[in-house]
Structure formats: C-alpha cells, structure tokens
Structure 1
Amino acid sequence: MKKNQLLILSLLFWLPLISFSQTGHGFGFDNYNGIYGVTTNPANSVQSKYRWHINGISYHQIGIADYGAIDYFDLETNPNAFNGLNFSENIDQSSNTNFMVADSDIMLPSVLYNISNNHSVSLILRSRAFSDYTGFNGQLFSALNSNFDNTEEASFNSTINNTTNHWKEVGLNYALVLVNSNYHFVKIGGTAKYLMGSKAVEARGTISGSYTPGASGNVTITDLDLTYLSTTETNLPNEPKKFYSTAFGNFDNNGTGYGGDIGLVYEWRPRETNRVDVRSNAGAVNTYKLKISAAILDIGQITYEHMANIEPKRGVGLNQLINTNGSTVSVEKNEIIDNGLINALKNNPNVSPNPQQGKVTFVLPQTLNIGLDYIIFNDKSYYLNINYIKSLTKNNDLYTNSRLDLITLTPRYETQKFSLYLPITYEQGSSDVYAGFGLRYGPLTIGSAALSSIVMDGKMKHVYVGLNLPLFQDIFR
C-alpha cells in the first residue's frame, strides 16, 4: 500500500516539471480503445480486447494559443499564412511573439480485426489538418481577423512563420505478439500509409506597416520580405467550411506520398495481477501491473509535383518571393477583405512577386509517443497513466509542422463496457493547469483534456467524440 501511495505522490510531483499533454481519438491508453489506440501506437491493435472494432466517425481537435482561443469546426477552404485558422478576438495585440497551433483529425469509417491472440490487422481512413503560427504580431492578426474593424490607428511589425497542411491518409496496420511468458509480454506493430495531399501553405518572412480605421481606410506596408508557397489556386474563395464537409470531400490527389507509424508495447505481469485461469482468454482480460509503450508517429512526406512542359494545374507548388523593394505600398482595406492580404499584395503594382513553379515536399509532424500505465492497488479497474509526446520536428524547419512537447497525467476507472478519465494537463509556456473529463460507454467515446479551459474560454481547447461498433473477444475460451 505504501509503495503505491509513494508512486502516486511521485507522479504528482513530476507534473509541474514537464510539458503539457495532447491526446488523440479518445485517450490512447484505455485498454478498450480499439482502433483509436492504433493511431497513438500501432502495436495496440493486437490483443486489443476486441475481435472486431469498427469506427463509424470520430473527431479530434486540439487548439493551443498563448493568448486567445481557436474555433473548433471551421477550416479555411483556401488556407494561407493569414487565414488558416479562425483566431479569437482576444489576440494579445501588444505582443510580437504570439503563437497558435491547431490539429484536427477526423477518422472516417475504419476497422480493426484480431485474427488471433497473436496477430491483428486494421484499415484506417483519416482526414487531417495541421496549422502552426509562431512569432506573429497580435496587432496585425487582430486587424485581419476583424476586417480592420478597429477604432484606433495602429502600426505593426511582424514576423511570419506559418505552415498549414491538409491531407488524407489510408493506413494498413499489422501487429503481432513477440513474447508471451508468465511475467513478460511484448508486442510490436506498424502502420503503412498512403498520403493524399489536399493543400499546403508555407510562409516565412517579415512585414511592417500601419493601418487607418474607417470605411475608406488603407493599409500601408513600409517593409515586406516574404517567401510564400501555396499548392492551391490563388483565386479560390476564402470561405470557411464545416469539418464534416472537409472530411468527406476533396479526395483529389493534389499531392501524394507515403508514410507510417511504428510502435512497441511491454507489459510486466507479476503474480499479483496475472490471475488468468486455464479457461480464460488472455486477450480479453488485463493481467499486467505496469505497461510501457513507445511509438514514432507520422513518419513520411507529401510531394506536390509539376511535370515540365505541362500546363500548371491545381496542386502545383507555387513559390513566390514577395517584397516592396524598399518602397512604401498602400493597399485598400476592402481589397484585403475581399481577396485576402496575399492576393492584395501580389496584385499591387508596387510589389514584386517572383513566382516559381515546381516540385515541393511537405514533411509530416513526426513525433515520439511514450506512455506508462499502472494498475493501482492491484485492482484491475483503477489505473494511473502518464503519456508524453515529443516533437521530432522544429517550428523553424521548412515545409513541416511542429507539435509542442506534451504530457498528460490521468487517473481512470475502466471496465469492459465503461471507462471514466480525469486528465490533468500542465502547459509549460504559460504555467497554466487544465482539468479534463472523458467517458467511454458502449459505442460512444467523448471528452476533453481541457474541459476547464472550455468552460472559462481559456487558451487551450480540446474535444473528441467517437461513434463505433465494439465486438469484444470472448472472456472464456
């Protein structure tokens, strides 16, 4: 008893010293997560407690901002460096170091099948979108997102560092058991992915200027040095589209590529928890005291390619160097509202765009996912979990997104038909602590890692919901 209490106190002590958490479809550590757990570690599919697990539809979205919040369900049909997200009106206008990250992941109809206790396969369809913005001026972005509906004249001097990537993927997963002894259990798995790029944007540079409020107010650009690449047509309307229409539409291969995930799970099964009699099916019950998992996720890249001597089409990488050549440029506010800042600048006679068409490759936001799951007091219904995610890409790397380093501490109650999660999240950047809630009941999974932030309209937003058909393994042979 004292050892268990000491472990819990130690974990609570570590919490403020480490980064904050991110979760996927449901919580990837539930022993009954089924096909949702395959996205966080591809080894999870084998001995997943299900003979079949069929996902109908699930939605996961996490948004983090140092000041303000991010809209849940609107995605721009034609993202660029300034409209990939719907920003809150509460952007910190006095700061030149704002950041925002949004990760949207929709799992389409998918299926997991356990061939036997030692082998499993899964087919997973996902529609994903990722945007990150770092180091931007709050004054500029606040004005752009409010259509310059401000009462005071203002100036801005902003760094631009943005990557937005929308893609769909078809994943084929296989996992197998390597070791299954009295006290030790090891399984490995991998998911091979075919990637279909919908659209991608990369913008790096600086912009300085000011704007004057009022119906006829203009935006004055005093300095502009921007490298801007878009794989979509520049004349598409910048209208928001709901996540469900984005998920089920636009399977055009504007870009293609290959990728994958790889993972491993180890379970320590001492005598006090390994109580499986001869009639029991070990794949249907939990027998471990401690489970350790590790996975590398989102290995791969998407290439948008234009063949020489072929008429440019949608999907061609259009790389443009845009600058003012040291002169001052005045841009009408209404033109920016109607066409977006990038198009308004490129159409201005005093701006010098230098378009270059050709092949461009975007790298997926590769991450390391490590988890520890511990049964409390040898009771198979009460667990304590730590999940850590480490980004393997950096926010200043070209043509790739970067996740924040995250960790979650989650006590949970778990049975075959019902699970309850209480995640605690710590954000290193602001030292904020978030409390969440999650629930799995039959075919429904729903929850948030930052429910307290949602209620108080805080800086971190997270929600997930999943509807599935679970067909369990037989407990008895």
Structure 2
Amino acid sequence: MTRIFLRSLIVFCAFILLAHSSPAQTFIGSTLDSYSGVHALVLNPALSTDSKMRLDINILSSSAFLGNDFLSIDLSDLSNFRNGFEVNSDDSKNSKTNNNFFGNIDVLGPSVLFHLDQRNSFAFTTRLRGFFNLTNVGGDLYELANTEYHDQSDFNLTMEDVSGLVHVWAEIGATYGRLLIDNEYHSLKGGVTLKYLGGAGGMFTSSNLLNASYNNSSNILTTSGSLRYGYTSGFDLNDISFSDVKSGFGADLGLVYEYKEQNVNRYYNPYKFRVGLSLMDVGAINYDQSVRSIYTMEGSFDADEFSTKSLEGILEDNYSGVELVGSTKMGLPTSIQFFGDYNIDGKFFVSAQGALSIKNNKENPVSNLINSFTVTPRLEKRWVSVYSPLSIRQYDSALAWGLGVRAGPVMIGSGSILTNLISNTSRSTDIYIGFKVPLYN
C-alpha cells in the first residue's frame, strides 16, 4: 500500500537533484549566514533586511530531505532508496503499529534580493516544492508492501489515524522587508512574503481504523475497516507535470530583533545577538474535479499484488467503494519557525533554530513539516562560510550531525551527512547544493 507513495517521491527527488545540479528542513545550517541572501527567506522573510549584499541573485538551488522511524539509512547501499527503503536486515528495522515516513524537495529557481535603501528591501523568488507524508502505518505492513520476497512472519495489526499524502506545487513570491526600529542598541525588522501557488496536484489517503492480518503460508493479506483514497484531476505520480495548474495563494510573516553593541558597524558586525520568529507557509491550493473514494476494507488478496499493481488498482480489484467527484483543498505545511543567533567575535557564531508544525495529521489532505531543533556553530566571512549543524528530528532517535560550506557563488552541504557516514542508526538524511551571483556591499 505504501510503495507507490515512497517510490514516486524518491524518484522525483532524485530526478530534481540530478537534473538541476551539476553532479523545513531546507538548506539546513545555511539560512542564518549573513551572506545567505535569498536562501534566508525560507526561514524568515524579515531576514531580507539582514543581507550583507547589495544584490543577491540565485541561479538554481536544490534541497532534499528524507526520513522515517522504521528503517536505518545506509549510504553505502543507495539502491535501497530507489526501491522504497527495501528491508534487507532485521537488525536495521524498528517495526511498530504506527511507523512514519516523510520527505520534501525544495528547488529554489531564479530569484533576486536587493536593497532599496538602509531600511527597505525587496526579493522575488521562484520555487518548486514537493512534500510526502505517510503517518501511523504498521511497519510489518510496510515491509510486506515493499519487499520482493515473502519470508515475513505472520502479523496482526490495528492501525489508527493512518494518513498519506504526496503534493507537488510551484511558487512565485514577492518579499518586502523593512527596518522598523533602529537605534544605538536595538533594532526590529519585519518582513512578509506573498506567494502565488501553482499546483501540479497530489494524492492522499486516510483511515480512522484499519486492521491488517497476514498469513505467510498462504501469502494472503486480510483487512477490515475503511479507507479514504483520492487524487487531484489528471495527477500521475509517474509523470508529474504542470500542464493543468491550479491556483492558490500563500504567505510568510516574520520578525527579527537584534541587540547591538555600541558603535557597531551594521554591515560588518551588525549585532551581538538576534532572535527571530516567523509563521511560514500559510495557504492552500483548491483543486476542482478531484476524485475521492471511500472503500470498505472487508476482504483479502494475495500479497504479490503489491509488486504488480498500484494502490488504486488493489483497491478497485478487491474492495467495494463509493466514488465522489468534487473540490479538494490541499494545505501547505504551515509551521512556526524560531531562532537565536549569537555573535562571538564577528567571525564565529552559534545559532539555535527550531521548526514546529501547526498542522495536524488528521487535517488530511495537508502537507506536514516534521518538528526539529538545530544548533549550528559557524565561521562566517565574506567569501567563505563553514557551518556544522547538530539536529534533533521528530521520528529519528539519532542526533543528526552535518557539514556545509558557502564559497562565493557555490553552496553545498547536508544537515546529517557526518552522522550518515559514521553511524548505522540514523533514520533521516538530507542534502543541498546551490549556485548564485552575490554582489557584496
């Protein structure tokens, strides 16, 4: 039941990164760099006034984030990602009745940030985003649906509040930032981003209660309960396109407070510490002519159907359902983002950053950001910055440790690469790369 969701998102993420790169949860560790420019706007639109560049032009940047609480990630065997987190060892899995899987892709297209004067700044951004959430699914059922072999033991699962979603959309944003208060010791900055949303569409499923029982000797899966399944008109996971775009609107709001030392030079050592708060990704896209089906899940089928049919095919061939056509609103991954950033000596900084989703899994269909908290020491200079974030992430019991570098027009990094390389317990991974044209003050 999960293969079509996971495989499609993984293939989509890999395609974007490979096609648009030379070789949240978005651009982890890099967004508080004073030279991050356009990339800071994905954290807080008020940071548009903090840039040390008179003009920052992003050419193309990609960030991908993927994780779960079921299976450890082994970077030495990336073929498992292409096969939907295939399970090859009992030692690496953490099977529960409510396992979770998640991922997102963020492609920041041609974008520009510039200052009108010392108080006012503007930015125009383009983005392509894809989100995937699969929540409260039994690990044994997931394994059965995502392995080509069937040596799995018998199981009997009761799953509550199951939900799954894939949503892909594009954004065109306009950001205005303003220095609201500025005196010898204090400054307050505000920012807002208004976004036009162009939705490519998505798929969604949910169940309040779903029972699943598997018999190994017969290879039969027996289910009971009910399942809601739907998709937007014309959406095809195997061929995602923007040929039938649906419109929506969104917004980001943010504030940043700074405490400054006396006689500070605002361009080269602008603050001693700063804190920020933002409300990100408010909005939704309305899809008319969406198909919604409610299935009575009283029945059985051969588990081999997982490898030969899509979820829709399994449901249509084995269960009775009622189909409805109407409008579906798919919400953005609305979250509260906050940070604190301390200036040690003008070159060395340490920051703390958090993200809290304010969307509930029961609000299906809606994309959901995972909760996280990150501490990042960094070395920051005009042409080079180095940062090493340490993160606690929802659903991942391991501490994520990463490394990133900005060198003039190029940025590359990961919030988890060091953990992924030295540990076999991490259950999430991410990577980003970007190319820009920075014009410094």
Change (3 A) 1:345 1:93: farther
Change (3 A) 1:357 1:94: same
1:158-217 CA distance string (max 9 Å, x none): 53321221111111111111122111112111110011111222211224232658xxx7
Change (3 A) 1:191 1:252: farther
Asked if 1:36 corresponds to 2:2, the answer is: no
Q: Which residue of 2 aligns with 1:345?
A: 315
Once the two structures are superposed, the pairs formed by residues 76-475 of structure 1 within 5 Å of their partners are: 86-89=84-87, 92=93, 94-147=95-148, 149-152=149-152, 154-157=154-157, 159=159, 160-205=162-207, 206-210=210-214, 212=216, 219-233=220-234, 236=236, 239=238, 250-271=241-262, 274-276=263-265, 282=266, 284-305=267-288, 316-324=289-297, 326=298, 328-331=299-302, 333-334=304-305, 336-348=306-318, 351-376=319-344, 379-427=345-393, 429=395, 431-455=397-421, 456-457=423-424, 458-473=426-441
- Taking the aligned partners of 2:100 and 2:225, their CA distance within structure 1 comes to 20
SS of 2:308 mapped into structure 1: helix
Change (3 A) 1:25 1:34: farther
- Taking the aligned partners of 1:337 and 1:175, their CA distance within structure 2 comes to 51
- Taking the aligned partners of 2:102 and 2:420, their CA distance within structure 1 comes to 16
- Taking the aligned partners of 1:189 and 1:71, their CA distance within structure 2 comes to 40
Give TM-score scaled by structure 2 length.
0.84
Consecutive aligned runs of 4 or more in structure 1 exceeding 6 Å deviation:
none
Q: Which residue of 1 aligns with 2:9?
A: none
Contact kept, 8 Å, 2:144 with 2:303, in 1: the verdict is no
5+ long unaligned stretches in structure 1: 1-20, 73-82, 277-281, 306-315
Contact kept, 8 Å, 2:157 with 2:213, in 1: the verdict is yes
5+ long unaligned stretches in structure 2: 1-23, 76-80
Give TM-score scaled by structure 1 length.
0.78
- Taking the aligned partners of 1:436 and 1:332, their CA distance within structure 2 comes to 39
Once the two structures are TM-superposed, the CA of residue 436 in structure 1 deviates from its matched residue by 1.3
Once the two structures are TM-superposed, the CA of residue 461 in structure 1 deviates from its matched residue by 0.5
Change (3 A) 1:252 1:26: farther
Structure 2: which amino acid aligns with 1:302? I
SS of 1:45 mapped into structure 2: helix
Structure 1: which amino acid aligns with 2:434? G
Asked if 1:51 corresponds to 2:66, the answer is: no
1:99-136 CA distance string (max 9 Å, x none): 11212111111111222222111111111111112211
Contact kept, 8 Å, 2:72 with 2:93, in 1: the verdict is no
Corresponding pairs, count: 404
Change (3 A) 1:33 1:71: farther
Contact kept, 8 Å, 2:411 with 2:435, in 1: the verdict is yes
Structure 2: which amino acid aligns with 1:67? F
Once the two structures are TM-superposed, the CA of residue 388 in structure 1 deviates from its matched residue by 1.2
Structure 2: which amino acid aligns with 1:58? S
CA RMSD of superposed structures (Å): 2.6
The worse-fitting range, judged by mean Cα deviation, of 421-430 and 409-418 is 421-430
Asked if 1:67 corresponds to 2:87, the answer is: no
Change (3 A) 1:428 1:393: closer
Structure 1: which amino acid aligns with 2:293? Q
Contact kept, 8 Å, 2:370 with 2:393, in 1: the verdict is no
Which protein shows a greater Rg?
A: 1
Contact kept, 8 Å, 1:190 with 1:263, in 2: the verdict is yes
SS of 1:398 mapped into structure 2: coil
1:246-280 CA distance string (max 9 Å, x none): 6xxx2334432100101111111122xx433xxxx
Q: Percent identity?
A: 26
SS of 2:43 mapped into structure 1: coil
Change (3 A) 1:94 1:440: closer
Structure with the higher strand share, 1 or 2:
2
